[in-house]
Amino acid sequence: MTTTIRLQREDFDATAEAARLSRGRTDIGAVVTFTGICRGHEGGHAVSAMTLEHYPGMAEDEIARHVAEAKRRWPLLGVTVIHRYGRMQPGDNIVLVVTASAHRQAAFAAADFLMDYLKTRAPFWKLEERPDGTNWVEAKDSDDSAAARWRKDEAAE
Amino acid sequence: MSVKVLYFAWVRERVGKAEEEIAPPAHVATVADLIAWLAGRGEEYAHAFEKPKVIRAAIDRVHVKPEAAISGAREIAFFPPMTGG
C-alpha cells in the first residue's frame, strides 16, 4: 500500500500523481482523483485571492492519522494527499486526494471520507482577500455534518 | 511548569504574536482553565478568547477537548475552527 502525504507551497499535477500511484500495478482496478480548487466568489462576494495558513507538524500528523483510519475502514491499495499552503488565486489547485483499490466502492468512499475530514480536522485556515478587505473564512456546519456521518456509519457497523 | 503556546489565524492576530513561552500557576489544570487564565493577561488576550466555545486546542499536535489536562504538555496551540481542504 503506497502512501504519499505532502504539504507544499507549489502547485501539483493531479494526473501525474494519480499515474504515479498506479504505475506498474496489476492489482489496482479503481483510481479516484479529487482536486479542490480555489473559487473566485463565496457567498455572493468576489474573492481575489486566498492565503492558507497551517500548523506545520500537526497538519502532516493529522492527515496521516486520517489516512490510517481510511486504510483501516477500506481495502485501499494506495493513497496520495497533497495540500498546498500559502497564497492562491481563483482557479489555483488547493488540495489533491487520490485513492486506489481493487474495486471502485472503496476508492470513492475513502476519497469522500478523507475530504470530509480534511475540511474539519486538518489545521489549515483560509484568509480571503475581498474588494472591501480581508476576511477569515468561517467553518461551515455542513462540513461538520458531512464529517459526522462517517462516525454514525462506523457506529452502525 | 513552562510550556510553549502557539496561536493561529485570527487568534494569532488578536493576541499579536504567533507563539510564546508561559508558566501558568498550578491551579491552571485544564485547557479551559488555561484559556480563562490567558484571557486575564491583557486586552488583546481578552479579545482573542472572548468566545471560549469557538476556540479549538491541540496539545503536542493532537486535538483535545477543553477538559483535557495540560500537565506534561510541551506545546499547546489555540486556533479557530479549521477551514482546510
* pLDDT tens-digit readout, A82-140: 999 999 999 999 999 999 999 999 999 999 999 999 999 999 999 999 988 999 999 98
Q: Which three cell numbers stand for residue B44?
A: 488583546
Instruction: Report the candidate in B34, B26, B21 with the shortest Cα–Cα distance to residue B66.
Output: B34
* pLDDT tens-digit readout, B34-84: 999 999 999 999 999 999 999 999 999 999 999 999 999 999 999 999 999
Dihedral (CA of A67, A20, A9, A127) sign: negative
| A123/B58 CB distance under 8 A | yes
Name the strand (E) or helix (H) holding A105.
helix A104-121
Q: Which three cell numbers stand for residue A102?
A: 481493487
pTM equals 0.93
| B81/A139 CB distance under 8 A | yes
Q: What is the β-pairing status of strands A49-54 and A45-46?
A: unpaired
Give how far B56 is from chain A: nearest CA, Å: 10
